[in-house]
Amino acid sequence: MVILSMPAVNEQFSSSIIKNCKSPSSFFPCIPLIDLSKPDTKNQLVKACEEFGFFKVVNHGVPMEFITKLESEAIKFFSSPLIQKEKAGPPDPFGYGSKKIGPNGDVGWVEYILLSTNPDFNYQKFASILGVNPQDIRDAVNDYVSEMKKMACEILEMLAEGLKIHPRNVFSKLLMDEQSDSLFRLNHYPPCPPDQEFNGRNLIGFGEHTDPQIISLLRSNNTSGLQISIVDGHWISVPPDQNSFFINVGDSLQVMTNGRFKSVKHRFLANSVKSRLSMIYFGGPPLSEKIGPLASLLMKGEQDSLYKEFTWFEYKKSAYKSRLADNRLVLFQKL
């Protein structure tokens, strides 16, 4: 199976710009950097979500032990024989998956575990492969996911303040809700064998897409692979940083802000030498939640609503009928 990337036209050029640039608004832009230990970052956050739908967070306060605990369990799991791992699959959508992504024919050079953050999610299959008690896995996932939820809510509350909308928990309450439909994903991109490379181009690990949820928080080891696209057809490589988190706006937040925040297109390339391991928390609303542009934002900007209202259940159902690279929001745009 050969999964090729589109020519990464500006990859070399733009990654050196990311490291060296000074101006956040130049054409080949810097990735916005947010220091969560600084008291007033709300305006910077709003700017990052408007210009990129993407930013990097440092001084996040997430205990390293929660990260390393989960990472070492993930390494153990992915190092198990395929026949063992397949006992935790196929994904329905939860469980272990290899190469196949979603139900509609997308493939990538990746294996993964997709979990619900729901308290009654069953960890038995994963625990028996790791030879541990399901409660140990549950605890490791819960410790990490609680930190992600906390950071996501903190960011969403600062965003609401930055946008001057009330109440400040207008976004974060959706993640705090007991019924919040949030997910957790572990992705492992094995090194791609040299015979699978094509003319020096990298294999696609996980093809281009936007995330359907409100907000996504990603942490990876120090292997490169993440690229974002701000301008169609141009990809910016994001240098890895295992001590930071990379955050992106999802489709639902783009809709709630009536297009003011951008749900960024991103993809992951396989590395020819090192394996990449990433953990992603996708903060989503309850299934019954109505998603639409916030009335307070429409009034402020005297703008028309760009989207039809939908429930998260409707959007999710439609997302699972789509291919990874599809623009899932067009179906919900007003003409």
| Positions in the binding site for ligand GA4 (CB under 6 A) | 93, 101-102, 104, 106, 114, 183, 185, 209, 211-212, 282, 319-320, 322-324
Catalytic, out of 219, 260, 276, 328? 276
Q: Which residue is nearest to ligand GA4 (CB)?
A: 102
State in angstroms the smallest separation of the CB of 281 from ligand GA4: 11
d(CA 278, CA 220): 4
Length of the chain, in residues: 335
Query: In the chain, what is the greatest distance between 2 CA atoms, to the nearest angstrom?
Result: 59
H helix intervals, 186-311: 251-256, 295-301
> Of the two residues 163 and 174, which places its CB atom closer to ligand GA4 in the complex?
174
Comparing CB distances to ligand GA4, the nearer of 6 and 325 is 325
Q: Is the backbone peptide bond immediately before 167 cis, with ω within 30 degrees of 0?
A: yes
Token pair for residue 110? 């990746």
Query: Measured from the CB of residue 209, what is the shortest distance to ligand GA4 in angstroms?
Result: 5
CB closer to ligand GA4 out of 135 and 179: 179
Q: Which is nearer to ligand GA4, 46 or 77 (CB)?
A: 77
Evaluate whether 238 touches 18 at the Cβ level (below 8 Å): yes
Residue with Cβ nearer ligand GA4 (104 or 288): 104
Number of other residues whose CB lies within 10 A of the CB of residue 107: 17
CB of 104 to ligand GA4, least distance (A): 6
We find the least distance from the C-beta atom of residue 251 to ligand GA4, in angstroms, to be 9
What's the min distance (Å) between Cβ of 101 and ligand GA4? 5
User: Cβ of residue 23: shortest distance to ligand GA4, in angstroms?
Assistant: 31
Contacts of 296 (CB under 8 A, 6+ apart): 165, 166
- Give the whole-angstrom CA distance, residue 6 versus residue 199: 12
Q: What is the CA radius of gyration of the chain?
A: 19
42 vs 96 by CB, closer to ligand GA4: 96
Tokens representing residue 26 in the block? 């130049």
Residues paired with residue 201 on neighbouring β-strands, in sequence order: 198
C-alpha dihedral sign at 149, 185, 277, 81: positive
Q: Which amino acid is residue 157, in one-letter code?
A: E
| Core vs surface per residue 24-59: b (16+ CB within 10 A) or e | eeeebbbbbebebeeeebbebbbebbbbbbbbbbee
Give me the least distance between CB of 280 and ligand GA4, in Å please. 7
> What SS3 state is found at 94?
coil
260 is catalytic: no
User: What 8-state DSSP symbol labels residue 333?
Assistant: B
Which CA distances in Å does 255 have to 57, 264, 304, 331?
23, 13, 12, 12
Catalytic residues: 276
